[in-house]
Amino acid sequence: MNSTQTQNRIELTKVSKSFTLPSGSFQALKEVNLTIPSSQLVAITGKSGSGKSTLLNMIAGIDKPTDGHVVINGVQVEKLTESALATWRGKNIGVVFQFFQLLPTLTILENVMLPMDFCNSYPKSARRERALSLLELVNIREQADKLPSTLSGGQQQRAAIARALANDPPILIADEPTGNLDSQTATSIFEVFASLTKSGKTVIIVTHEKDFSAYFENVIAIADGAILN
């Protein structure tokens, strides 16, 4: 294991998560232990309600465990304050959503520049060039000045990936990123993810798509809040 792999390793130790609802308590994760080394394309699979999105939220710092620890790149995530977490997330985790979630009133280029603005991660003068190069990477540079609503689903998802890469985070997580795309477009998106792992990124994807299993180096199956494999 080289030093980058150690640095960007994701470690979950006895992570449990329960929710209190008016109807009673519900346990979404049960003492999950998980280690994901860096530079891998990892799939999390499972049925609806199995806990896979909750697991992803734990890794992204979107939600905090009721019990246990989430350590990423040596940082104990659940101990960070909301404000520190936002900045940490912005720099360390890139998130891609099923429905793309681009801000509708910003152009594609501005959407990609926005994380750099929030995290103040690149010099102002360099942000535009970096955003354009990321759009180049996902093959939609010519769409840079358009609003998201004028782009196809596939193009929007590529833009969302470019946005997730804006601050050059070592980890990318994606919640069913191809769930809303046709198979041809989905293939092209998986190819982008695969290429990212080659440049040292860790990519974790929640997916139902069995057709793309060849892309994954590691598949984590989850059921009733527990990891099966």
Interaction site with another protein (CB under 8 A): 22, 57, 60, 62-63, 82-83, 86-87, 89-91, 95, 97, 99, 101, 103, 105-106, 110, 113-119, 127, 163-164, 166-167
Closest separation between CB of residue 165 and another protein, Å? 11
Say how far apart CA 184 and CA 30 lie, in whole Å: 37
- C-beta of 158 vs 163, nearer to another protein: 163
Q: Dump strand ranges (E) for the chain.
A: 10-21, 24-36, 41-45, 67-72, 75-76, 93-96, 171-175, 202-206, 218-223, 226-227
CA angle 27, 29, 35 (to 5 degrees): 170
Question: Which amino acid type is present at position 93?
Answer: I
- The distance of Cα 153 from the centroid of its chain, to the nearest Å, equals 18
- C-beta of 2 vs 83, nearer to another protein: 83
- C-beta of 4 vs 87, nearer to another protein: 87
- C-beta of 38 vs 111, nearer to another protein: 111
Closest separation between CB of residue 42 and another protein, Å? 19
Closest separation between CB of residue 97 and another protein, Å? 7
CB atoms closer than 10 angstroms to residue 78: 17
Closest separation between CB of residue 59 and another protein, Å? 13
Closest separation between CB of residue 77 and another protein, Å? 13
Q: Strand order in 41-45's β-sheet?
A: 93-96, 171-175, 202-206, 41-45, 218-223, 226-227
- C-beta of 32 vs 37, nearer to another protein: 32
